[in-house]
């Protein structure tokens, strides 16, 4: 799963795009309060977690060569099924 964002989009805006991209069925499994954004040397990443704190997936961004960021969502285990 992918989506594009501007480089200066807020984490709140990125979270909204994550939820819109994954759709309502998967969105029911995630918990915004348990999920975390992390600054890395490559940019911003997000660990998507459920209410128990289990990691369901990881999102990372890369330069999309059009002055924006391309976000990739990778699911772990049953969350992506």
User: For every one of its 81 residues, what pLDDT tens digit does the chain have, with 9 covering 90 and above?
Assistant: 999 999 889 999 999 999 999 999 999 999 999 999 999 888 889 999 999 999 999 999 988 888 899 999 999 865 555
- A 10 A CB-CB count for 68 gives 15
CA dist., res. 59 & res. 14, Å (int): 10
- Name the residue ranges covered by the structural domains of the chain: 2-80
Q: How far apart are CA 4 and CA 16, in angstroms?
A: 12
| Degrees, nearest 5: CA angle 54-60-61 | 160
> What is this structure's pTM?
0.87
Give the C-alpha separation, 42 to 31, whole Å: 25
């Amino acid at each position: 799963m992918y989506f594009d964002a501007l480089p200066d989009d807020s984490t709140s805006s990125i979270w909204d795009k994550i939820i819109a991209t994954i759709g309502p069925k998967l969105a029911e499994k995630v918990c915004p309060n348990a999920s975390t954004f992390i600054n890395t040397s490559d940019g911003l990443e997000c660990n998507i977690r459920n209410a128990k704190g289990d990691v369901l997936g990881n999102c990372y961004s890369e330069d999309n060569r059009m002055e924006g960021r391309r976000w990739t969502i990778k699911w772990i285990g049953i969350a992506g099924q």
